[in-house]
Structures are given as C-alpha cells and as structure tokens.
Amino acid sequence: MKIELLQLLKHEGAAVALQEAAFSPEELDLDGDGVALQDTVTVNGAFVNLGSDVIQFSAECEFVLNLQCARCLKEFSRSFPCSIHEIFREPEDWEDFLSDGMIDVTAIVRHGILLEMDFRYLCREDCKGLCAKCGHDLNEGPCDCEEEIDPRLSVLKQLLKD
C-alpha cells in the first residue's frame, strides 16, 4: 500500500487516514525473520502533516504469529498488540519508506511489527524445555536419565555426606 507524499505536504494539518487497511502475510514478508504471520494484519491509523514538512504516522494493529518455543520446540500461536508511532522530520527519515514520491505504508507497518517482536518466545513462562541427554519434553514429566555430577564437583558431594 502506498500513499502520495505530495498530497500530505500541500497543506499543514492535512491527514490521510488508514481505516481497516489490510496487509497480507505475503506483503509483510516476515518469514525470513524466523516467524510467520498467521493471518492478515489490519491497521487503523493516520498520516498527519504537522507543518514545516514534518509528517507523523500513528497506527494501532494486532497480529498473530506462529512461533516455536525456544525451550521445548513446540509450535504455538500468540497474539500481539502493536502501536506504531513514527515522526518524519528530515528527508533522510523517509529514505527507507519512500520511492517515486510515494510512502510505502507496508514497509512502515513491517518495521513497526519487527520492533514489537522479541528474539525468542516460550510456549509458557514455566516451560521446562527438553532433556539435554535424551530430548524428552520435561513439560510432560521427568525423563529416565540419571543425574550426572560434574567430576570436578564430586569432592563437594563428599563433604555433604560427612
């Protein structure tokens, strides 16, 4: 989705609203970032000319990601709220989002979503992960592996026995 920049810059206070603007997972292309959008992202917001060639973009959206737990590797989905607030004061601010006099709204929304994301996700806060030896999911119960003690610390175990 693109919006003409000149339309905004003509008049101070000019605004272009985005109501229920839909962005497909293919448009936003987050797959290369290790996550996948589950569905279309709907954005409500507006571009506003604040004067002196300053443009503000504010928007709200919610998106659902298909994720993989960093500890137990289970796949799960989670919904995230997203607030996007950008102020463009200088021509350099626009470089990543402007081509042929058109503002690439898709790139701004993608950028906003990426800023909301974490580096890793857990299926639940108390996820126990997988056994380092046998790979058993410890959320389903303990595994049958014997607990090994680091040989360098075995002396301490002897002290506890005495």
pLDDT digits (tens, 9 = 90+) for 29-39: 877 656 788 89
Q: What is the pLDDT of residue 145?
A: 87
CA angle 63, 65, 71 (to 5 degrees): 145
CA atoms of 86 and 47, how far apart (whole Å): 9
The rounded mean pLDDT for the chain is 85
Lowest mean pLDDT, pick from 13-22, 111-120, 141-150, 152-161: 152-161
Q: What is the pLDDT of residue 146?
A: 83
Task: Tell me: pLDDT of 135 over 70.
Answer: yes
Task: Tell me: pLDDT of 73 over 60.
Answer: yes
Higher pLDDT, 98 or 14: 14
Element (H, E) at 114: helix 105-116
CA atoms of 44 and 57, how far apart (whole Å): 11
What is the amino acid identity at position 49?
A: N
